């Protein structure tokens, strides 16, 4: 019969994992449960529910550091930061809509465990670049900590980089120190209308190589712009290639004007100001253009930006495909019709030509059990991943098989 541990502190987390180790009982780790449909299906009958470990422990706006328990709601953290004109610069995704939830349910640890990173990743990096330190309990039932509440800390192994993106397979995090940054005073977006994929990549490349400090670059094909909640995007009637500029007011206005002039050679140019810009980039961040229809599989594809247009062209030729790109063409979000394998063979063949990788973000449980959710690893990398798993969790107690079968 399934059972659940719900610890109130790190010591109780250690006790629960110690019991699991002693009894050879795998544990399903979860916080607020918003990402249960992400990755391979859980392979454990016993749950370790960390939702009680919630709340901000310490926040020093002048030091740009926030410390919180792992299951602290992301909405709570973002509201606290916004009240102090600060933000999590890596723009953690709200995957609620994409994964079929009904409200913003994500937690701080959830964003770290998937190494979340939004449109600003091309400038600010992802979650692993903003995690300063953490405390956790390993699969050996041992408490440990790594990093510190300072940016300049080079002592020991860089475990924050390892723990991010581990999907709870290495340790149960119990405390998190994260870096925050000031919010920009203004956010403008330059729009170039009517470009096809190759022209969009050229325009985004030109913008990224300019002196205007572009912080995000995305391309929305014409068949998806109508799904936007931003009226100008919705009514564009053409594809939209978007470049974000943010910072102090006068600087943003000048850089935006200059970028508009430089990009006018590509096509008709318009701009969005702060409120509409913020709404638009939230849509890109949260993949709102591909939320419906809900059962349809969604892929997250990473390729060199220079290859983005070619790969997108190959993928768009698939029956029923819908896509848009982020990260100046380096990230492609792809939706396909429901099928037994979510189009895995064709997708990975198209991506492999460019040396990229593809992750199945959304699909039914049966499909995620049968198809490799994460891109298959070369033998050497797979062996290294297994060694890392066994260093932290030698008996494969924590979220076994969540990322790769047998790991």
The CATH number covering residue 69 comes to 3.30.465.10
23 with 144, same domain: the answer is yes
Q: How far apart are CA 274 and CA 245, in angstroms?
A: 10
What is the structure's pLDDT at 380?
96
The answer as to whether 400 is a domain residue is no
Mean pLDDT over residues 17-45, rounded? Answer: 94
29 with 170, same domain: the answer is yes
Q: Domain count for the chain, please give it.
A: 3
Q: How far apart are CA 59 and CA 88, in angstroms?
A: 13
115 with 7, same domain: the answer is yes
Mean pLDDT over residues 208-221, rounded? Answer: 97
What range defines the domain where residue 276 resides? 186-285
Please check whether residue 130 is in contact with residue 176, taking contact to mean a CB–CB distance below 8 angstroms. Answer: no
Under the banding of pLDDT at 50, 70 and 90, the label for residue 154 is: low
82 with 226, same domain: the answer is no
Please check whether residue 7 is in contact with residue 21, taking contact to mean a CB–CB distance below 8 angstroms. Answer: no
264 with 350, same domain: the answer is no
231 with 304, same domain: the answer is no
219 with 326, same domain: the answer is no
Please check whether residue 176 is in contact with residue 112, taking contact to mean a CB–CB distance below 8 angstroms. Answer: yes
Question: Residue 13 pLDDT more than 70?
Answer: yes
- 405: its two tokens: 């079968």
What Rg, from alpha-carbon coordinates, does the chain have? 21
7 with 81, same domain: the answer is yes
Q: Residue 323 maps to which CATH number? A: 3.30.70.120
The answer as to whether 380 is a domain residue is no
Under the banding of pLDDT at 50, 70 and 90, the label for residue 158 is: confident
324 with 308, same domain: the answer is yes
Under the banding of pLDDT at 50, 70 and 90, the label for residue 27 is: very high
106 with 217, same domain: the answer is no
166 with 35, same domain: the answer is yes
Residue in 359, 367, 310 with CA at minimum distance from that of residue 334: 359
What is the structure's pLDDT at 155?
57
Residue in 115, 42, 106, 39 with CA at minimum distance from that of residue 397: 42
What is the structure's pLDDT at 1?
40
- Residue 390 DSSP SS3: helix
Q: Which residues of 293-314 are buried (b: 16+ CB within 10 A; e: fewer)?
A: eeebbbbbbbbebebbbbbbeb
What is the structure's pLDDT at 150?
61
CA distances from 11 to 16, 20, 70, 272, 374 (A): 9, 14, 15, 50, 33
13 with 50, same domain: the answer is yes
Question: Residue 89 pLDDT more than 50?
Answer: yes
What is the structure's pLDDT at 385?
94
Indicate the residue among 163, 183, 203 that finishes a domain. 183
């Amino acid at each position: 019969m399934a059972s659940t541990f719900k610890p109130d502190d790190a010591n109780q987390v250690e006790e629960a994992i110690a019991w699991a180790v002693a009894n050879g009982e795998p544990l399903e780790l979860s916080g607020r449960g918003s990402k249960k449909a992400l990755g391979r299906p859980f392979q454990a009958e016993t749950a370790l529910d960390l939702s009680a470990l919630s709340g901000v422990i310490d926040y020093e706006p002048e030091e740009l550091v926030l410390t919180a328990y792992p299951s602290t709601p992301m909405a709570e953290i973002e509201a606290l930061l916004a009240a102090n004109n600060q933000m999590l610069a890596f723009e953690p995704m709200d995957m609620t809509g994409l994964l079929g939830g009904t409200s913003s349910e994500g937690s701080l640890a959830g964003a770290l465990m998937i190494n979340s990173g939004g449109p600003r990743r091309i400038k600010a990096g992802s979650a692993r670049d903003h995690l300063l330190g953490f405390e956790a309990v390993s699969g050996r039932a041992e408490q440990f900590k790594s990093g510190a509440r300072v940016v300049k800390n080079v002592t020991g192994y860089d475990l924050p980089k390892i723990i991010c993106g581990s999907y709870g397979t290495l340790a149960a995090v119990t405390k998190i120190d994260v870096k925050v940054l000031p919010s920009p005073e203004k956010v403008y977006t330059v729009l170039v209308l009517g470009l096809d994929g190759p022209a969009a990549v050229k325009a985004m490349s030109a913008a990224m190589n300019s002196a205007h400090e572009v912080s995000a670059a995305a391309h929305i094909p014409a068949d998806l712009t109508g799904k936007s909640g931003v009226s100008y995007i919705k009514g564009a009637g053409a594809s939209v290639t978007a470049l974000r500029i943010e910072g102090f007011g006068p600087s943003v206005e000048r850089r935006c004007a200059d970028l508009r002039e430089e990009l006018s050679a590509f096509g008709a140019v318009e701009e969005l100001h702060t409120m509409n810009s913020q709404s638009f980039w939230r849509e890109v961040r949260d993949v709102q253009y591909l939320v419906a229809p809900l059962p349809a599989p969604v892929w997250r594809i990473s390729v060199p930006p220079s290859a983005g247009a070619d790969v997108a062209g190959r993928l768009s030729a698939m029956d029923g495909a819908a896509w848009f790109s982020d990260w100046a063409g380096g990230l492609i979000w792809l939706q396909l019709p429901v099928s037994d394998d979510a189009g895995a063979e064709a997708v990975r063949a198209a991506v492999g030509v460019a040396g990229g990788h593809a992750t199945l973000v959304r699909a039914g449980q049966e499909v995620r059990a049968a198809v490799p959710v994460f891109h298959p690893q070369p033998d050497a990398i797979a062996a290294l991943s297994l060694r890392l798993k066994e260093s932290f969790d030698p008996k494969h107690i924590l979220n076994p098989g969540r990322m790769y079968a047998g790991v």
